[in-house]
Structure 1
Amino acid sequence: MKKRTAARSMAALMGAAMMLTACGGGNTTAPTTGASSGGETQTASESAESGKITKTDIVVGQASDIVTLDPAGQQDTTSGVLMKHAYSTLLDVDNEGKVVPDLAESYEMKSDTEYVFKLREDACFWDGTPVTAQDVKFSLDRAKGMPKTKSNTSKIEEVTVNGDHEVTIKLTEPYAAFKTIVTQHNLSILSEKAVTEAGDSYGDVDNLLGSGPFKVTEWVPNDHYTLVRNDNYWGEMPIATSITCRVIPEGSARTIALEAGEIDVVWSVDPTDCANVESNPDVKLLSQPSTGIDYVGMNTQKEKFSDKRVRQAINYALDKQAFVDTIIEGRGLVANSYINAAIPGWTDEVEAYPYDPEKAKELLAEAGYPDGFECSIFVNGDLRTRSAQILQAQLADVGIKVDISTYEWGALLDTLNAGEHEMFLLGWSNTSFDPDGSTYQLFYSGNHGATGNRAFFSNDKVDELILSAQRESEESKRMELYKELQFVLHEESPWCPLYYKENNVGVRADLKGFTLHAGAQHYLGNCHYEE
């Protein structure tokens, strides 16, 4: 998700960029300081003419693979990296977390339930065909019928085409966060013609058609995917000519590959490797507070976890500071709430459950488990497996015996979406910078499973507060509703919030054109090397 203030602000922001290029030409002279830029002041064409560029084929190491090539079929941050580079959305979020234009050069809020988006007239797909208002309508209508976009489209009543380059989106009710919703990668705009012709096979490499700065040319599942520069890109032409994302599950292996020069960027450096990167002059560590949260989720529809006293006992039984100290090497903070401290609406008045094993035992006994019980936890990757081992040891102290099952990323999501789990370890990153992005998908009772509520949690008061906050247009009142919501979630405890960690990215020391994105939606298109 993502965010914005007013239509005239949007128009002003676009003022200097209104000299449009022909669809299929691409803007090769605009300065690379835009929403998805790496923050350099040199343009791609200037750099090429100066002869300074020596390498523009970029290799990235990621911990896990994407789950699909179809934007509407995903909602995970790993897949979102690809979508950011291959597709476009109506609006985007820049490096500082502000909503900026993308396919829509401006928007107007006609009422609290009606938005009009004016599209860029030069925007086109990879093959040079124009992006039209009909493509926008098709994409949003299609997304309404897909599980992983259900929450993002649940308030869309109707999309009306007003001409080739204007659409009206009518909502069923006021939705204060809607302008951030259309920045979501799973609401990327697709070619109606390409998707219709491909049918159920859309998502294969040979039938994709995006409008982003890069084209997908190859995907070898659980190994790598490759993007090449889209010469028909309608926006600022990237400097990088290709991006290869390699799947390297083990954190130390990613760091070693970076230090050896085999890869140029490590998307996420394991905290245990950060010190090594910092001490090596050949590489750099770039860090910033994240907008996400790492947590232990509990399936509230499973008998043992249907009682909030058991869920509260889990919260008391876990020493969250131990996770901060050992798993993320002190590079983060204990999470006190269900919203990250960097997100508006977060409150410090909610206090994290203290580490109190005796209180945990009391609650377990009250719930009918004086001797504890046996259960399982599902995880993925080396880092979360280590977290699960700490959890396993701490819960054993209160009589809970935990079996750890480790999955590949896509398989884990499928299993959680199906509700087969009892407990799980996961993270959630809020790229919208709006508290709706930390609550609606995750805790609303209508969003169980693939839509995001993998705790399968239902609570009337929580639903009421979430919907009331969505309808509230006055910001101060809206933030008060989120404050109350955090207290209710704290009491109900569908999760055990663990920590707010830092985003740690490793790059080669001489790499140019990379800048951190506040929501960890980093853009790789301007990465390159110079003499």
Structure 2
Amino acid sequence: MITTPRRRQAASVLLALGVMVPAGACSVANSGPEPSSGAASTVRIVLPEEPPTLEPCDASLTATGRVTRSNITEALTERDPGSGQLQPALATEWKQDSPTEWTFTLRKGVKFHDGTAFDAKAAAFSIDRTVGSKIDCNVDGYVFGGIELTATAVDDSTLRVKTAKPDPILPLRLSFVEIVPATTSTTSKVREAVGTGPYRIAKWDTGRSLRLERFAGYWGKAPDFAAAEYVWRAEGSIRAAMIQSDEADVAVGLAPEDGAGEAAVQFPNNETSYLRIDATKPPLDDIRVRQAISYAIDKEGLVASVFAGLGKPAGQVVPAGVTGHSSAIQPWPYDMAQAKKLIAEAKADGVPTDATITIIGRNGIYPKAAEAMEVVQNSLMEAGLSVKIQMLDVNAWLEYLLAPFPKNAGPTLLQAQHGNQAGDAAFTMGQIYGSKGAQSSYGTEELDGLITEAEQASGEERQAAFAKALEHQNKDVVRDAVLAHMTGILALSKKVTYKPNAATNDEMRLAEMHPAG
């Protein structure tokens, strides 16, 4: 039984605004309805992009989750990004009654932003809406990947969850289910979330700004800032300049050359950049071409030049420290001669290597995203492939990330980034590499079997089984060209203290931001 005290409100460490060694037009100054004399009125945050939605069941999407999770909505459990331990949130404790059944004791006295009470019926409803409905929740594919379960309210403060098959990490999976009122639509997604978190949505001025205000009825400790104002600017240099000119307090997604100066803070953000290969279409359906893509990309050079040394070349999307990471997998070596040889062999066997491959890029997915894809394009063309680039904003890019994918797109390489903040390869393998995964463009029966076997295991067997699946993918499937484990940079004004962590890119908790001094 888990009874660890909740540590959501742990004090942040004061950051010295010196050089840290490892990562427009609209002013949003602190001059709104909050009195300027207040020591903690509004924290101002500038993002690379506007959230595509604040739908709670899509909170596993980076642009949505970093605003929604732990701010507007909460889950039953939460994972501490530092220790990796699972902690109470809206559930105070839980126990496993059998291999397929769990009981959760829920926190009492909690209210939703609309004034209704949180109880076991709302928890069961939220789980069913996220996992059992047909509204294509990203969390469903990302976290649950076809797992069948039933959630039942035993009484107001007791929830029972049954799974069709044993699932040793069910409480961890439920940390991604944001709890919403039972009146929330089950036939369509909502744009704005109603939750139990310390902040509620005050105003979303589409295309301009998003304002959250402190929820007076919050069950826990009130956060220091009465409000948070989000704006978005595509250019990193503009985001950094807003810190310098006192138009923002926190700027995320920066590059070293953006000019944040002494306000810059680098941190390991747990993200891995990669190219998802559509292995269902020629010439990408030939494994030699997929191997050639990985050989042709100079990952060391990419990290050193485009990423300015922030990060390191990677061979797998599951980073060290995550259950299932394989130390046997190394980054593919840069070998242009081998890449050209493989392309020539495929061409000689009738593979249409001259077919145009489209790189589907995403503006702002990480600093210098377009430049990175230009480097990749040049390398692949040198290897003997025909490649063009199409850079998209987040909403258009999501059409390619999530199944069903656009028809008649031709062979594609998707610029993507994956962060496994949950700490277990189950949150990577099924959705990204499974044949029916929400983000998978290709899978095999053998790899599906290895993933299923690993998901049922626990302890050391689970680690070994997932590592085996990753090694098989790397050797016999080659669905991705993995680029680098990334390092993040954000900037802080002298008015705010905040300590970023491995989860910051996906879950930026306003309660961990404090006025300086």
TM bucket (normalised to shorter chain) is: 0.7 to 0.9
Aligned to 1:407: 392
Please give the residue correspondences for 1:183-202 in structure 2 after superposition, counting only pairs within 5 Å. Answer: 183-184=175-176, 187-193=177-183, 195-196=184-185
Cα distance in structure 1, aligned partners of 2:204 and 2:287: 43
Cα distance in structure 2, aligned partners of 1:459 and 1:222: 42
Aligned pair partner of 1:333 in 305, 309, 312? 312
Task: Give the drift of 1:526.
Answer: 4.3
Task: Give the drift of 1:177.
Answer: 2.6
Aligned to 2:109: 122
Aligned to 1:387: 372
TM-score under structure 2 normalisation?
0.87
- 2:435 pairs with 1:445: yes
Counterpart of 2:80, as a letter, is D
Alignment size in residue pairs: 475
Aligned to 1:363: 342
Task: Give the drift of 1:266.
Answer: 1.1
Cα distance in structure 1, aligned partners of 2:63 and 2:339: 35
Superposed CA offset, 1:484-524 (max 9, x none): 11211112111100000112221113413x22233222312
Question: 5+ residue gaps in structure 1?
Answer: 1-6, 18-33, 42-50
Aligned pair partner of 1:103 in 52, 76, 90? 90
Counterpart of 1:241, as a letter, is A
Counterpart of 1:307, as a letter, is D
Residues 89, 374 of structure 1: alpha-carbon distance in 2 compared, 3 angstrom cutoff: same
Superposed CA offset, 1:209-254 (max 9, x none): 2111100122233432111110111112111111111111111111
Aligned to 2:509: 523
Superposed CA offset, 1:75-103 (max 9, x none): 31110012211001010122413211110
Aligned to 1:482: 466
* SS of equivalent residue, structure 1 residue 315: helix
Paired residues of 1:258 and 1:506 also in contact (CA < 8 A): yes
Aligned to 2:215: 230
Task: Give the drift of 1:467.
Answer: 0.8
TM-score under structure 1 normalisation?
0.85
Cα distance in structure 2, aligned partners of 1:323 and 1:179: 38
* SS of equivalent residue, structure 1 residue 397: helix
Aligned pair partner of 1:90 in 76, 79, 88? 76
Task: Give the drift of 1:528.
Answer: 3.9
- 2:148 pairs with 1:156: yes
Cα distance in structure 1, aligned partners of 2:345 and 2:206: 48
* SS of equivalent residue, structure 1 residue 126: coil
Paired residues of 2:355 and 2:386 also in contact (CA < 8 A): yes
Aligned to 1:45: none
Counterpart of 2:50, as a letter, is D
Superposed CA offset, 1:458-483 (max 9, x none): 1112111111111012x111111122
Residues 38, 262 of structure 1: alpha-carbon distance in 2 compared, 3 angstrom cutoff: farther
More helix by share: 1
Cα distance in structure 1, aligned partners of 2:337 and 2:284: 19
Counterpart of 2:515, as a letter, is Y
Aligned pair partner of 1:497 in 461, 477, 482? 482
Superposed CA offset, 1:278-334 (max 9, x none): x43xx2x22222322100111122222112111111001111112111222111110
Counterpart of 1:163, as a letter, is D
Aligned pair partner of 1:181 in 169, 173, 179? 173
Superposed CA offset, 1:379-420 (max 9, x none): 111522111111111111112221111111111102333423
* SS of equivalent residue, structure 1 residue 304: coil
Counterpart of 1:188, as a letter, is E
Paired residues of 2:211 and 2:228 also in contact (CA < 8 A): yes
Paired residues of 1:137 and 1:160 also in contact (CA < 8 A): yes
- 2:15 pairs with 1:68: no
Counterpart of 1:218, as a letter, is K
Task: Give the drift of 1:203.
Answer: 2.1
Aligned pair partner of 1:317 in 296, 307, 311? 296
Alignment RMSD: 2.2
* SS of equivalent residue, structure 2 residue 283: helix
Please give the residue correspondences for 1:187-336 in structure 2 after superposition, counting only pairs within 5 Å. Answer: 187-193=177-183, 195-196=184-185, 203-205=190-192, 208-273=193-258, 276-277=259-260, 279-280=261-262, 283=263, 285-336=264-315
Aligned to 1:23: none
Counterpart of 1:497, as a letter, is V
Once the two structures are aligned, what percentage of the paired residues are identical?
A: 22
Paired residues of 2:339 and 2:383 also in contact (CA < 8 A): yes
Larger mean CA deviation between 419-428 and 81-90 belongs to 419-428
Question: 5+ residue gaps in structure 2?
Answer: 15-35
Paired residues of 2:12 and 2:513 also in contact (CA < 8 A): no
* SS of equivalent residue, structure 1 residue 329: coil
Paired residues of 2:58 and 2:64 also in contact (CA < 8 A): no
Cα distance in structure 2, aligned partners of 1:216 and 1:434: 32
Counterpart of 1:304, as a letter, is P
Residues 204, 479 of structure 1: alpha-carbon distance in 2 compared, 3 angstrom cutoff: closer
Superposed CA offset, 1:147-175 (max 9, x none): 22333343232111110011110001112
Aligned pair partner of 1:427 in 406, 417, 429? 417
Task: Give the drift of 1:268.
Answer: 2.0
Superposed CA offset, 1:46-73 (max 9, x none): xxxxx99624301111112212122114
Please give the residue correspondences for 1:1-150 in structure 2 after superposition, counting only pairs within 5 Å. Answer: 7=1, 10-11=2-3, 13-14=4-5, 34-35=7-8, 37-39=10-12, 54-84=39-69, 85-96=71-82, 97-143=84-130, 144-145=132-133, 146-147=135-136, 148-150=138-140
Cα distance in structure 2, aligned partners of 1:237 and 1:214: 9
